Every structure is written in C-alpha cells, then in structure tokens.
Amino acid sequence: MTDVYLNGQFLPLDEACIPVLDRGFLFGDGVYEVIPAYGRRLFRLHEHLQRLQRSLSEVRIPEPLDETGWAGVLQRLVDRNEGEDQSVYLQVTRGVLPKRDHAFGGQDIHPTVFAMSTPLNPPDPAIAEQGVAAVTLDDIRWQSCHIKAITLLPNVLLRQQAIDAGAAEAILIRQGQATEGAASNLFVVRDGVIETPPKGPLLLPGITRDLVLELATAQGLPAREADIPVERLRDADEVWLTSSTREIVPVTRLDGVPVGDGQPGPVFRRMHRLYQDYKDAVRRGEAD
C-alpha cells in the first residue's frame, strides 16, 4: 500500500484527509513541486526546493520546513514506497482558516503539507524514435506563470484541447511569442543552435530546462535563451518539450505540419543521450 506524508505523519494513502475548509480545496491557494527519484536518489533536489521556496514566497505562504527538513521527509517517503525510480509530488497550501474568505492577512497560518510518491516508468522509447504532435494555442493563463501554483485549470483545459486535436501537448502563444507548453518547457533548434525562451513571469523556470542548458554548455553545444516568435517556431529545424517526468520530447509535427524532416533531429538525439547518461550518474550517486 502506498504511504504518503501529511502534516508531519506518514500514513496510508486511503487514510490521508484534509478539512473541507483547507484553502487549497476552496481556492487552489497553494504551490507544488514534482521531483523525480532515480535509483531512489532525489533528482536535482536543491534546485526543486529553491523553486518551491520562491513560489511560497511569491504567494506569501510561510515555508514549513528548511531544505534539510524537506530532504529528510522526501527521502523517507521514497524509501517507504516501491520502485527504484519514483515521482514525488509535493504540495503546500495556505492551510485551514476559520471561514471562507478571499483575504488571509493578519491570521495565524499553518500550511498544509502533502507529499506522495508513485512509481516512475521510463518514457516510451517510441517517443524518442518517432516524436509527438503538438498544436499551438493562445496562452489564456495569468501573468505569474513563474509561480508553480496548484491553480492549473487553464493548463488543464489547454492540454485537453491539444489531446482532443490528436496532439500530445499545446505550445502556448502570447502576443506573437511562443512561451512554453501547457505542462512543459519549450526548445527550438535552428542551424544547430539550441534556443529556449528566457525566464520571466510568463513561463515556469523548469528544472529539466535548466539542466538541458547546462548539459549543452558543458558539451560545447551552442545554446542560449532567446525570444521565439511564432514564425521562428514554425521554421525551426527541431522542436523539443521538456519536463521532469517526460524528460526531453521531440515534436515532429506542429499544427499538422512536419517539423524539419518530420523525424527527431540530430541535436535532439545527442541531447537525449546526454540526459540519459546524467540520469545513470544520478543512480550511481555521481550526480544530483
């Protein structure tokens, strides 16, 4: 049976409950992280916890644990559950206040902390061989997408719209610029140069995104942050999507049109291999 962590206790999933007045339930008032573990070793934990701290600070929720405390809780959670590779979901809400009220200032806040871990299956090898389809959609989200908030209804609707259209993901367009996917970060390759939109309030600063840039730089592959007008997206030689659980995904069809020659490109193949090597190093305890 799966064990979860809730407010200082480890307990079976079917015993974990929160009050109906929890602001996460009433308002979506909270933030979250998703952290892979390879060989039961938490992947880029420091970077994930830094992003969590920034999100908590932005929404004015007091941080329940310091980095050492989080590391202990999350590692114990991984150790208590099955699977050498796991996906840890961590959520912090503002907690329970005496009544439903949009305002929260001046009240004694005790955040609700929930974490669960599930087996993490490797990505389907066919994706790396064949790629996926994506569609472009108008970005209907708010102005603070850099906060990893649990209020994901626009992302949910956009992703479902993409799936309804026979695609795996929606690439979002705001004022003529491609920003990211509904649940992923965006890369394009043009003339051998890897590009991804710069960090800012209109996109989530992805941990996998940052690692791809690190690996590219370390291997001498030209990579940079740059705005991606929709015309540049459509003319790209390669398009990729990245996330912690899906890793690096090549897009081979965009709005029904082949990307490049319609096959995962050579730069993707090299980056895919570098990423798999990095994961293996994590499993051996040679990287974090």
pLDDT of amino acid 107? 82
In a domain, 31, yes or no: yes
pLDDT of amino acid 1? 65
- Could you say which of 119, 150, 166 is where a domain stops? 119
Stretches in the chain below the pLDDT threshold 50: none
CATH number at residue 22: 3.30.470.10
270 and 164 part of one domain:
yes
56 and 133 part of one domain:
no
In a domain, 153, yes or no: yes
CATH number at residue 258: 3.20.10.10
Burial of 115 (0-12, 13-18, 19+ CB in 10 A): buried
162 and 274 part of one domain:
yes
148 and 276 part of one domain:
yes
276 and 171 part of one domain:
yes
In a domain, 202, yes or no: yes
75 and 159 part of one domain:
no
In a domain, 269, yes or no: yes
Helix locations, the chain, DSSP H: 23-27, 45-59, 67-80, 125-130, 153-164, 207-218, 230-234, 266-283
248 and 233 part of one domain:
yes
CB atoms within 10 A of CB 28: 13
Number of domains present in the structure of the chain: 2
- Could you say which of 93, 119, 145 is where a domain stops? 119
Indicate which residue of 99, 148, 199, 279 is catalytic.
148
What is the maximum span of the chain, computed from C-alpha positions, in angstroms? Answer: 59
β-strands 193-196, 223-225 pairing: parallel
pLDDT of amino acid 285? 94
Burial of 89 (0-12, 13-18, 19+ CB in 10 A): middle
272 and 132 part of one domain:
yes
pLDDT of amino acid 146? 98
In a domain, 169, yes or no: yes
Q: Distance between CA 89 and CA 32 in Å, rounded?
A: 7
**Per-residue pLDDT tens digits for 152-210:** 999 999 999 999 999 999 999 999 999 999 999 999 999 999 999 999 999 999 999 99
111 and 148 part of one domain:
no
In a domain, 59, yes or no: yes
153 and 62 part of one domain:
no
In a domain, 45, yes or no: yes
18 and 111 part of one domain:
yes
205 and 248 part of one domain:
yes
pLDDT of amino acid 109? 87
- Could you say which of 102, 119, 136 is where a domain stops? 119
In a domain, 288, yes or no: no
Annotation says 148 is catalytic: yes
Residues spanned by the domain of 231:
125-283
